[in-house]
């Protein structure tokens, strides 16, 4: 994807947060990130607040399935997820402000499926932008499955993943 974009003269933006700073958000909270110097601040967006509602509920349900995950650990992972979402949304907003059209962001489904946290943050910061969510599902289906309704604007079934 990167090579194809570059071959067409399209900008490629590193939209993700620096892994070390995401880890810090998970382990130490958001306040230490707010106190970073300007150079490190440029590598991360610190959300003013965490995304609430269905996104949090789905995250807790998914991550809470893992044995031994206590509430504090789960909250740390949710903070980290929100830092990723906020940083990617900020990168998308910056690209839009610079006149890039279209902006294509490739992420794991949880960030956008069912109006996930990244989707919510992009919409909130850029209300006039046309935002489309495409979800690629590694299964076969002849028509939209009931469980995929509302998942995205477009759902593409691509068949099962090959055995590794």
Record the pTM.
0.88
In the structure, what pLDDT confidence band is assigned to residue 157 with cuts at 50, 70 and 90?
very high
> For 81-116, how does the pLDDT look when each residue is reduced to its tens digit (9 = 90+)?
999 999 999 999 999 999 988 999 988 888 888 888
Three-state DSSP string of the chain: CHHHHHHCCCCCCCCCCCHHHHHHHHHHCCHHHHCCCHHHHCCCCCCCCCCCCHHHHHHHHHHCCCCCCCHHHHHHHHHHHHHHHHHHHHHHHHHHHCCCCCCCCCCCHHHCCCCCHHHHHHHHHCCCCCCCCEEEECCCCCCCCHHHCCCCCEEEECCCCCCC
In the structure, what pLDDT confidence band is assigned to residue 118 with cuts at 50, 70 and 90?
very high
> For 3-30, how does the pLDDT look when each residue is reduced to its tens digit (9 = 90+)?
999 999 998 988 999 999 999 999 999 9
> For 120-139, how does the pLDDT look when each residue is reduced to its tens digit (9 = 90+)?
999 999 999 999 999 999 99
Given a cut of 80, whether residue 67 has pLDDT beyond it is no
Q: Tell me how long the chain is.
A: 164
């Amino acid at each position: 994807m990167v090579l194809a974009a570059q071959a067409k003269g399209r900008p490629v933006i590193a939209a993700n947060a620096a892994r070390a700073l995401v880890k810090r958000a998970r382990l130490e909270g958001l306040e230490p990130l707010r106190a970073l110097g300007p150079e490190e601040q440029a590598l991360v967006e610190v959300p003013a607040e965490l995304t609430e509602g269905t996104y949090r509920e789905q995250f807790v349900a998914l991550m809470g399935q893992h044995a031994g995950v206590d509430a504090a650990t789960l909250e740390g992972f949710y903070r980290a997820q929100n830092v990723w979402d906020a940083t990617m949304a900020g990168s998308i907003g910056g690209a839009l402000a610079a006149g890039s059209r279209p902006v294509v962001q490739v992420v794991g489904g949880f960030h956008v499926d069912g109006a996930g946290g990244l989707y919510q943050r992009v919409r909130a910061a850029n209300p006039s932008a046309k935002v489309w969510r495409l979800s690629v599902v590694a299964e076969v289906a002849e028509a939209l499955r009931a469980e995929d309704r509302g998942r995205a604007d477009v759902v593409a079934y691509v068949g099962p993943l090959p055995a590794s």
